[in-house]
Structures are given as structure tokens and as C-alpha cells.
């Protein structure tokens, strides 16, 4: 047995004391963390979660308490919530080289298979290449070629409302899916229960669940994925098959049409043709994932914005009437508005912006991660390396220092009038920096067309129950990555028989 002399014990004691002093001095020399909920050993801020247990509810509550940057720790994970546009601009835009990484997403990426999707893939060369592919295909100039197809689908939307106005929510989802599958794959959806449409809806609903922070414990404790009989692994295998079908089957349709020489102009066909001309056939998988990214990511965001538009029109008949008056004055009553009218309809544009601001489709985006071997500092506050970075987009759109009466629905805030127009939410509701959605122009134009055509053709009023009482939408929303309004009913009526004929004639012509 080894014997220790008093000299050995003194040396060990001195070493331990020196280490403790050194660690304390290093800790004290570091800038303070941002303010946030109380952190306890091991569990961190777990006890500060609201009763719902939902992380998004927690982020909202904490942002109201702690200011523009909030720090929390859930078990072993540091979380920094960015609640102001100023902070997001500095960190996620100006320092994007540090903040463009995604955190490890065990359920979504490693088990279900979403990792090659642009929204969730790690930052690197493939991410940059895919962004370039999507940006080139969906830039404003490139969209001019695809605009007629987009306008046809918007016309079909108002036609469906004419036939079955009670099926509003089905029509919104069908139109969002039909528009994207037409633009991306050249495929025409004719029925509500089209195979490709059902496939996409199942996939995007699943994507919203698996990317919501806190949905699966395996994202917090990755070692859980080695458990052979874990229920989440069974579900992951089922969802993995769904992702594979979403990637391969619509692309297979486009490829077959190209081989027969009979295909509609669409993004995927253009990308594949260009790759063949450049001898870059090896990029086919990357191109298919670019198509899948647009197809899957765009559906639910469009559905969310258009649905909230209808809900707000029920609550604000005066705003609805003002927008309709502008359309009647500028476009007239002999035709329906088209995308070329957009610049001539400033009030409709302001209404569109207010829909985006009042409830962003992705209120907290998808988390970023500080990808650095050192901590970062913002306004004297330390951001630990490896932290999850949550852009609290909803808090940015409700900032009373930026938006007057932020809880109100007021399109006029974006018109100059006698003062200065307030900040355009389009600058940030679709993300930041190198993670900003590159398909933003498709989303913007699809939502705008649905709003403009609906206002030209219909009056949207409260649903009247059996007892004669009008029912107003609650304006509540789901706590998922892509947030949808709570189910609601409304009444949709033609403004006149003349508008009915305009719809029918326009659909026939197109």
C-alpha cells in the first residue's frame, strides 16, 4: 500500500486549492450570462417551465420578463432566446459565420431522415449549394416564368370557395399544396384527396412535430436512441418511410415526364436539365432535396398565413371594406386582380404585411447553434459556446418600441400617412442570415394572390350559429414549429353576381 508523507498531502492540498482558485478567477473574469429564469443544479431551469410544459409558452413568458436576450438551461443544454430584431440582426446576420449551424436534431435528422432538407441540414458546402439552387430558381426574375401557374391555382381557390364555401380550411390546404407541387414538379392536382397532396400534408404535419423543441426526450438525451424497443423508434421508422416517399415519388413523376418529352415547365425539370447540360448528374440527390424542401416547407407556412387572414377579416369588417374599395378603384369590376397589380394596391400590401406580422407562421423559427470553440459576447452578456439560439420572431413582431399597439390588427401602420411607416416584418419573419428561407418569393406571392382575389370576390363575415349568435374566431394558435390558428368557422358570400361570372370566366380562360 502506497504511503503518503505530510509533504505529499500538502502538495495535493495546495494543488486542489490552486485549481479551485483558478477556476473561480476564470469564472469571475467572464462576462455575465443574459438574464433568465432560475437555474438549479442538474435540472437547470426545468422547474421554471409553465404548467403547459410547452417550450414555446416558456419562451414567450420569459421574453416578457427578461428583455431582449434571455438565458435558460434545460438539463444539460444552454438556450439563448433572442427577443429583439436588433439582437437577431447583430448575431444571426452580422455574425452569421458563428450562428448558421443547426443543433443536433436526433429525432428529426438522425432517426426520421430530414437531415438533407435545407431547413434542418448542418451548415456546410451542401447547404450553400442547395441555397444557391433554390435561390436561382425562385428569384423574382425566375418567378416570372412560373407566375401564370401560380395565378391559375389562386383562381381555382376562389372557384372552390364558390362551390363549397363551408370547406374553407380544406380549400386553403389544397391550394397551398397544389400550387407548390405545380411549381416544383409540374404536376396538376385536380381533387382534394390527390395522392401527392395527401403525402405532402402527412409529411409537413410530421415535420412540424419532430422539429418542435421538447417534443422528444431523445433530442435531450441522444443515448436513448440505442434502446431497442423505445416507442419513439417505431414511430421514427414509420416516418422515415414517409420522408423517402416524399423525396422520391413526386420527383419520379417529373423524371418520367421528362423522359417522354412531355412535361410542364417546373423547378425540378429546369434544375435537372441544367445539371445534365453541365455534366453534374451527381447532383441529382441534392436537387431532389431542394425540390422537397420547397414543396414541404412552403405548404404549412402558406396555410397558416391565409387562414389567419380569413380569421382577421371576420374581426375587422372595416379593414376588409377598405381593401375591397382599393381593389374596386384600381382594378375595377370588369376583371380580377393579378400579381401585376400588386404595386398599385398599397392598402392590400399593408394588409398582407399585417397578416405576416400579427402571427408569424413560424413564431420561433428552427433553432440555430453557436458553432464556435469559444463563448461569444453581446452587449456585455456572455453566450456560451454550443448554445441553442432561439429567434423569438413573435416577440419581435409584438415589440411596442417598434410597433404601435402591437396586439392590434392595423394595416395602416405600414402606410406612410402623416408619419413614418413601421418596419416591414417581411425582413425577418422568414428567418435570418444564411438560414433565411430562400423560397420567400414563392410564399409571399402565393399568400398575396389568395388575399387579393378573395377580397375582390367575397365578403367574409362571422359564422352564425343555430341560436342566431355570431361566432368570432378565437385567434388562438398551435404551439408547433409551423403554427396554425385554432379551428374556426366563418361565412363567405359573393360580393355580387358579377364577381361570380368573373371567377367562372377566368377559370375557363386559364
Neighbour count for residue 372 (Cβ, 10 Å): 17
Residue 70: band (very low, low, confident or very high) from pLDDT cuts 50, 70, 90: very high
Distance (Å, rounded) from C-alpha 124 to C-alpha 146?
30
If you average pLDDT over residues 153-159, what whole number do you get? 95
**pLDDT recorded at residue 194:** 92
Q: Which region among 215-224, 396-405, 445-454 has the lowest average model confidence (pLDDT)?
A: 215-224
pLDDT in tens, 234-280: 999 999 999 999 999 999 999 999 999 888 889 999 999 988 877 66
Mean pLDDT of the chain: 89
pTM of the shown model: 0.89
pLDDT at 351 over 80: yes
pLDDT at 403 over 80: yes
Give the mean pLDDT of 6-18.
Answer: 58
pLDDT value, residue 21: 60
pLDDT value, residue 441: 87
Domain ranges of the chain: 32-509
Q: What is the mean pLDDT of residues 280-306?
A: 90
More confident residue, 89 or 278: 89
- CATH architecture group of domain 32-509: Orthogonal Bundle (1.10)
Residue with the larger pLDDT of the pair 29 and 283: 283
SS3 (DSSP) at 449: helix
The pLDDT value given to residue 13: 65
At 203, the pLDDT band (50, 70, 90 cuts) reads very high
Q: What is the pLDDT of residue 10?
A: 56
Lowest mean pLDDT among 22-36, 80-94, 494-508: 22-36
CA distance 348 to 217: 44
Provide the pLDDT for residue 72.
92
Q: Please state, in angstroms and rounded to a whole number, the distance separating the CA atoms of residues 117 and 132.
A: 14
Lowest mean pLDDT among 79-93, 145-159, 213-227: 213-227
The predicted model gives 31-44 an average pLDDT of: 90
Distance linking the first and last C-alpha atoms of the chain: 93
Is-contact 451 339, C-beta < 8 A? no
Q: In which band, very low, low, confident or very high, does the pLDDT at 377 lie, cut at 50, 70 and 90?
A: very high
323 and 455 Cβ atoms separated by less than 8 Å: yes
* pLDDT category of residue 46 using cuts at 50, 70 and 90: confident
Q: SS3 of 477, please?
A: strand
- What is the mean predicted confidence (pLDDT) over 424-450? 91
Kindly state the average pLDDT of the residues 221-230: 88
Q: Residue 8's pLDDT band (boundaries 50, 70, 90)?
A: very low
- Given a cut of 90, whether residue 22 has pLDDT beyond it is no
Considering only residues 68 and 1, tell me which one the structure prediction assigns the higher pLDDT.
Answer: 68
Predicted local confidence at residue 263, as pLDDT: 81
pLDDT value, residue 1: 41
Residue 9 pLDDT > 60, yes or no?
no
The pLDDT tens digits for 316-343 are: 999 999 999 999 999 998 999 999 999 9
**What is the rounded CA–CA span in Å between residue 109 and residue 227?**
17
Q: Average pLDDT for residues 455-482, to the nearest whole number?
A: 92
pLDDT at 419 over 50: yes
Residue with cell 381557390: 157
How sure is the predictor about 23, in pLDDT bands with cuts at 50, 70 and 90? low
Task: Provide the total of helices (H) and of strands (E) in the chain, helices listed first.
Answer: 16, 9
- Calculate the dihedral angle through the C-alpha atoms of 161, 178, 479, 403, rounding to the nearest 10 degrees: -70
- What does the pLDDT average to over 123-150? 91
Which pLDDT does position 58 carry in this prediction? Answer: 86
Amino acid at each position: 500500500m502506497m504511503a503518503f508523507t505530510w509533504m505529499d498531502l500538502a502538495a495535493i492540498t495546495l494543488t486542489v486549492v490552486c485549481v479551485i482558485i483558478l477556476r473561480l478567477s476564470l469564472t469571475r473574469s467572464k462576462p455575465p450570462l443574459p438574464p433568465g429564469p432560475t437555474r438549479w443544479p442538474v435540472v437547470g431551469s426545468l422547474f421554471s417551465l409553465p404548467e403547459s410544459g410547452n417550450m414555446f409558452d416558456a419562451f414567450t413568458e420569459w421574453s416578457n420578463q427578461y428583455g431582449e436576450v434571455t438565458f435558460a438551461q434545460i438539463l444539460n443544454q444552454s438556450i439563448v432566446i433572442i427577443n429583439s430584431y436588433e439582437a437577431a440582426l447583430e448575431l444571426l446576420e452580422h455574425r452569421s459565420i458563428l450562428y448558421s449551424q443547426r443543433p443536433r436534431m436526433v429525432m428529426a435528422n438522425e432517426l426520421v431522415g430530414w437531415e438533407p432538407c435545407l431547413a434542418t441540414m448542418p451548415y456546410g458546402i451542401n447547404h450553400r449549394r442547395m441555397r444557391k439552387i433554390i435561390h436561382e430558381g425562385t428569384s423574382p426574375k425566375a418567378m416570372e416564368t412560373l407566375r401564370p401557374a401560380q395565378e391559375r391555382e389562386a383562381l381555382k381557390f376562389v372557384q372552390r370557395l364558390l362551390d363549397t364555401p363551408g370547406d374553407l380550411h380544406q380549400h386553403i390546404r389544397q391550394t397551398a399544396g397544389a400550387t407548390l407541387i405545380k411549381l416544383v414538379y409540374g404536376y396538376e392536382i385536380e381533387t382534394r384527396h390527390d395522392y401527392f397532396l395527401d403525402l405532402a400534408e402527412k409529411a409537413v404535419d410530421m415535420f412540424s412535430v419532430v422539429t418542435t423543441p421538447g417534443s422528444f426526450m431523445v433530442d435531450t438525451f441522444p443515448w436513448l436512441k440505442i434502446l431497442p424497443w423505445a416507442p419513439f423508434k417505431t414511430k421514427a421508422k414509420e416516418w422515415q418511410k414517409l420522408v423517402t416517399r416524399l423525396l422520391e415519388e413526386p420527383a419520379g413523376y417529373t423524371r418520367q415526364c421528362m423522359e417522354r418529352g412531355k412535361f410542364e415547365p417546373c423547378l425540378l425539370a429546369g434544375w435537372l436539365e441544367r445539371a445534365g447540360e453541365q455534366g453534374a448528374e451527381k447532383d441529382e440527390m441534392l436537387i431532389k432535396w431542394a425540390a422537397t424542401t420547397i414543396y414541404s416547407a412552403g405548404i404549412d407556412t402558406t396555410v397558416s398565413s391565409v387562414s389567419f387572414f380569413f380569421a382577421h377579416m371576420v374581426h375587422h369588417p372595416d379593414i376588409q371594406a377598405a381593401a375591397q374599395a382599393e381593389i374596386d378603384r384600381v382594378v375595377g369590376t370588369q376583371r380580377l386582380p393579378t400579381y401585376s397589380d400588386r404595386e398599385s394596391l398599397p392598402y392590400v400590401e399593408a394588409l398582407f404585411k399585417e397578416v405576416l406580422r400579427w402571427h408569424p407562421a413560424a413564431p420561433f423559427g428552427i433553432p440555430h447553434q453557436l458553432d464556435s470553440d469559444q463563448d461569444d459576447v453581446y452587449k456585455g452578456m456572455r453566450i456560451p459556446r454550443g448554445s441553442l439560439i432561439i429567434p423569438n420572431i413573435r416577440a419581435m413582431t409584438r415589440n411596442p418600441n417598434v410597433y404601435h399597439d402591437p396586439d392590434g390588427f392595423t394595416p395602416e401602420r405600414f402606410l406612410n400617412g402623416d408619419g413614418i411607416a413601421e418596419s416591414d416584418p417581411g425582413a425577418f419573419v422568414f428567418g435570418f442570415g444564411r438560414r433565411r428561407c430562400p423560397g420567400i418569393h414563392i410564399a409571399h406571392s402565393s399568400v398575396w394572390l389568395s388575399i387579393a382575389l378573395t377580397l375582390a370576390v367575397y365578403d367574409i363575415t362571422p359564422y352564425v350559429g343555430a341560436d342566431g349568435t355570431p361566432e368570432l374566431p378565437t385567434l388562438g394558435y398551435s404551439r408547433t414549429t409551423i403554427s396554425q390558428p385554432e379551428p374556426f368557422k366563418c361565412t363567405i358570400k359573393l360580393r355580387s353576381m358579377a364577381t361570380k361570372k368573373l371567377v367562372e370566366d377566368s377559370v375557363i380562360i386559364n
